[in-house]
Protein backbone atom coordinates (compact mmCIF):
# COMPACT_ATOMS: atom_id res chain seq x y z
CA UNK A 1 0.00 0.00 0.00
CA UNK A 2 1.36 3.33 -1.02
CA UNK A 3 0.42 6.62 0.66
CA UNK A 4 0.19 9.72 -1.43
CA UNK A 5 0.61 13.12 0.13
CA UNK A 6 -1.22 15.62 -2.03
CA UNK A 7 0.11 18.75 -0.43
CA UNK A 8 3.70 17.70 0.05
CA UNK A 9 5.77 20.45 -1.52
CA UNK A 10 9.40 21.31 -1.28
CA UNK A 11 10.37 24.86 -0.44
CA UNK A 12 11.49 25.45 -4.02
CA UNK A 13 8.18 24.23 -5.44
CA UNK A 14 6.31 26.35 -2.90
CA UNK A 15 8.35 29.43 -3.86
CA UNK A 16 7.51 28.87 -7.54
CA UNK A 17 3.81 28.41 -6.74
CA UNK A 18 3.77 31.55 -4.58
CA UNK A 19 5.36 33.54 -7.38
CA UNK A 20 2.86 32.09 -9.84
CA UNK A 21 0.03 32.89 -7.38
CA UNK A 22 1.04 36.55 -7.17
CA UNK A 23 1.13 36.73 -10.95
CA UNK A 24 -2.42 35.33 -11.03
CA UNK A 25 -1.53 32.27 -13.09
CA UNK A 26 -2.23 29.42 -10.66
CA UNK A 27 -4.93 26.85 -11.17
CA UNK A 28 -7.38 25.81 -8.51
CA UNK A 29 -5.45 22.60 -7.88
CA UNK A 30 -2.18 24.51 -7.47
CA UNK A 31 -3.83 26.93 -5.02
CA UNK A 32 -5.12 23.96 -3.01
CA UNK A 33 -1.62 22.52 -2.88
CA UNK A 34 -0.22 25.89 -1.84
CA UNK A 35 -2.91 26.27 0.79
CA UNK A 36 -2.09 22.85 2.19
CA UNK A 37 1.60 23.74 2.30
CA UNK A 38 0.98 27.06 4.05
CA UNK A 39 -1.33 25.41 6.58
CA UNK A 40 1.63 23.60 8.11
CA UNK A 41 2.71 24.66 11.57
CA UNK A 42 6.51 24.89 11.51
CA UNK A 43 7.29 26.86 8.36
CA UNK A 44 10.18 29.29 8.00
CA UNK A 45 9.53 32.98 8.73
CA UNK A 46 9.69 33.93 5.03
CA UNK A 47 6.28 32.25 4.49
CA UNK A 48 4.60 34.21 7.30
CA UNK A 49 2.92 36.78 5.01
CA UNK A 50 1.56 34.07 2.70
CA UNK A 51 0.32 32.11 5.73
CA UNK A 52 -1.52 35.24 6.84
CA UNK A 53 -3.15 35.64 3.42
CA UNK A 54 -4.30 32.05 3.24
CA UNK A 55 -5.25 32.11 6.93
CA UNK A 56 -7.59 35.01 6.15
CA UNK A 57 -9.34 32.85 3.55
CA UNK A 58 -9.70 30.09 6.15
CA UNK A 59 -11.33 32.50 8.58
CA UNK A 60 -13.75 33.66 5.90
CA UNK A 61 -14.78 30.06 5.24
CA UNK A 62 -15.36 29.39 8.93
CA UNK A 63 -17.74 32.31 9.47
CA UNK A 64 -21.06 30.87 10.47
CA UNK A 65 -24.14 32.43 9.06
CA UNK A 66 -27.34 32.69 11.01
CA UNK A 67 -30.12 30.57 9.62
CA UNK A 68 -33.53 29.99 11.07
CA UNK A 69 -34.22 26.27 11.39
CA UNK A 70 -36.91 24.92 9.09
CA UNK A 71 -39.38 24.05 11.82
CA UNK A 72 -39.22 27.60 13.23
CA UNK A 73 -39.75 29.05 9.78
CA UNK A 74 -42.88 26.97 9.25
CA UNK A 75 -44.12 27.74 12.76
CA UNK A 76 -43.78 31.46 12.02
CA UNK A 77 -45.64 31.08 8.72
CA UNK A 78 -48.49 29.21 10.41
CA UNK A 79 -48.68 31.81 13.21
CA UNK A 80 -48.88 34.63 10.67
CA UNK A 81 -51.65 32.83 8.79
CA UNK A 82 -53.64 32.34 12.01
CA UNK A 83 -53.23 35.99 12.98
CA UNK A 84 -54.28 37.09 9.51
CA UNK A 85 -57.37 34.85 9.52
CA UNK A 86 -58.36 36.00 13.02
CA UNK A 87 -57.91 39.66 12.09
CA UNK A 88 -59.95 39.19 8.93
CA UNK A 89 -62.74 37.53 10.94
CA UNK A 90 -62.79 40.28 13.55
CA UNK A 91 -62.69 43.24 11.20
CA UNK A 92 -65.15 41.93 8.61
CA UNK A 93 -67.82 40.45 10.85
CA UNK A 94 -71.40 41.20 9.76
CA UNK A 95 -72.60 41.34 13.34
CA UNK A 96 -73.66 44.96 13.14
CA UNK A 97 -76.07 45.92 15.86
CA UNK A 98 -78.47 48.85 15.70
CA UNK A 99 -78.93 50.87 18.81
CA UNK A 100 -80.16 54.26 19.96
CA UNK A 101 -79.76 56.33 23.10
CA UNK A 102 -83.09 57.44 24.50
CA UNK A 103 -82.95 59.58 27.64
CA UNK A 104 -79.35 58.43 28.22
CA UNK A 105 -80.18 54.73 27.99
CA UNK A 106 -78.78 52.51 25.22
CA UNK A 107 -81.58 50.56 23.58
CA UNK A 108 -80.87 47.85 21.02
CA UNK A 109 -84.40 46.46 20.54
CA UNK A 110 -85.43 47.60 17.06
CA UNK A 111 -89.17 47.64 17.88
CA UNK A 112 -88.70 49.99 20.83
CA UNK A 113 -86.49 52.25 18.73
CA UNK A 114 -89.13 52.42 15.98
CA UNK A 115 -91.93 53.30 18.40
CA UNK A 116 -89.88 56.11 19.95
CA UNK A 117 -88.92 57.40 16.50
CA UNK A 118 -92.56 57.43 15.33
CA UNK A 119 -93.63 59.15 18.55
CA UNK A 120 -91.05 61.89 18.08
CA UNK A 121 -92.19 62.38 14.47
CA UNK A 122 -95.78 62.78 15.56
CA UNK A 123 -94.66 65.40 18.09
CA UNK A 124 -93.10 67.34 15.23
CA UNK A 125 -96.33 67.42 13.25
CA UNK A 126 -98.26 68.71 16.29
CA UNK A 127 -95.77 71.48 16.86
CA UNK A 128 -96.03 72.73 13.26
CA UNK A 129 -98.47 75.42 14.32
CA UNK A 130 -96.13 76.51 17.11
CA UNK A 131 -93.34 76.98 14.60
CA UNK A 132 -95.51 79.12 12.35
CA UNK A 133 -96.55 81.31 15.28
CA UNK A 134 -92.91 81.74 16.31
CA UNK A 135 -91.99 82.84 12.80
CA UNK A 136 -94.88 85.37 12.81
CA UNK A 137 -93.68 86.70 16.16
CA UNK A 138 -90.24 87.30 14.72
CA UNK A 139 -91.76 89.63 12.18
CA UNK A 140 -93.83 91.42 14.81
CA UNK A 141 -92.09 94.70 15.63
CA UNK A 142 -93.97 95.19 18.91
CA UNK A 143 -92.47 92.05 20.47
CA UNK A 144 -88.97 93.04 19.34
CA UNK A 145 -89.35 96.53 20.87
CA UNK A 146 -90.62 95.04 24.15
CA UNK A 147 -87.63 92.74 24.37
CA UNK A 148 -85.22 95.57 23.60
CA UNK A 149 -86.79 97.67 26.37
CA UNK A 150 -86.23 94.84 28.85
CA UNK A 151 -82.54 94.73 27.95
CA UNK A 152 -82.17 98.52 28.08
CA UNK A 153 -83.62 98.63 31.61
CA UNK A 154 -80.95 96.21 32.90
CA UNK A 155 -77.92 98.07 34.18
State residue 154's pLDDT score. 61
State residue 2's pLDDT score. 46
Q: Does 8 have pLDDT greater than 80?
A: no
Q: How far is 82 from 33, CA to CA, in rounded Å? A: 55
Residue 101 contacts residue 107 (beta carbons within 8 Å):
yes
Q: How far is 141 from 29, CA to CA, in rounded Å? A: 115
Quick one: which H or E segment has residue 121?
helix 110-126
Residue 18 contacts residue 50 (beta carbons within 8 Å):
yes
Indicate the domain borders of the chain: 11-62, 105-153
Q: In angstroms, what CA-CA distances link 73 with 10, 66, 76, 82, 84?
A: 51, 13, 5, 14, 17
φ and ψ at residue 102, rounded to 5 degrees: -125, 120
8, burial (CB in 10 Å: exposed 0-12, middle 13-18, buried 19+): exposed
Report which of 37, 71, 72, 68 is spatially closest to residue 54, judged by C-alpha positions. 37
* pLDDT one-digit tens code per residue, 14-25: 888 889 988 888
Q: What is the DSSP string of 71-82?
A: HHHHHHHHHHHH
* pLDDT one-digit tens code per residue, 118-148: 888 776 656 667 777 777 777 777 777 777 7
* pLDDT one-digit tens code per residue, 61-108: 555 666 777 788 889 899 999 999 988 888 876 666 778 888 888 888
**Residue 100: other Cβ atoms inside 10 A:** 15
Amino acid sequence: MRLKFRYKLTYEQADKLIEKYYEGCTTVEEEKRLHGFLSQVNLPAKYKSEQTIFGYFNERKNIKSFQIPGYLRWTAVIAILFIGAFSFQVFTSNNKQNYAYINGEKISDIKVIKTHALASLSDLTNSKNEMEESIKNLNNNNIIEQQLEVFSEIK
